[in-house]
Amino acid sequence: MAIRDRGVIVAGSVGLSLALLAGMAWWLTGGDAAPARARRGEAAAQVGIAAAGQDSARRDDAAPEPASAPRFILGREVPTTPPEIDDEAKAARDAYVALQASVVRDVAPQLEARRGALRQRCWTAELAAGLEQTSFKVSAGFDADGKQTELGVETPATAPGARDIGQCLREQQIELSATAPGQVVTIDLSLVLP
The pLDDT value given to residue 99: 96
Report the C-alpha gap between 133 and 127 in whole angstroms: 13
- Return the percentage of the chain with pLDDT > 70, whole number: 71
Tell me how many degrees the CA angle 11-12-18 measures, rounded to the nearest 5: 90
* 67-76, 142-151, 172-181: least confident range: 67-76
Instruction: Answer for the pair 187, 150: CB distance below 8 angstroms, yes or no.
Output: no
Q: Where residue 149 falls among pLDDT bands split at 50, 70, 90? A: very high
Across residues 78-95, what is the average pLDDT? 86
Query: What pTM did the predictor assign?
Result: 0.56
Handedness of CA 100, 103, 105, 111 (dihedral sign): negative
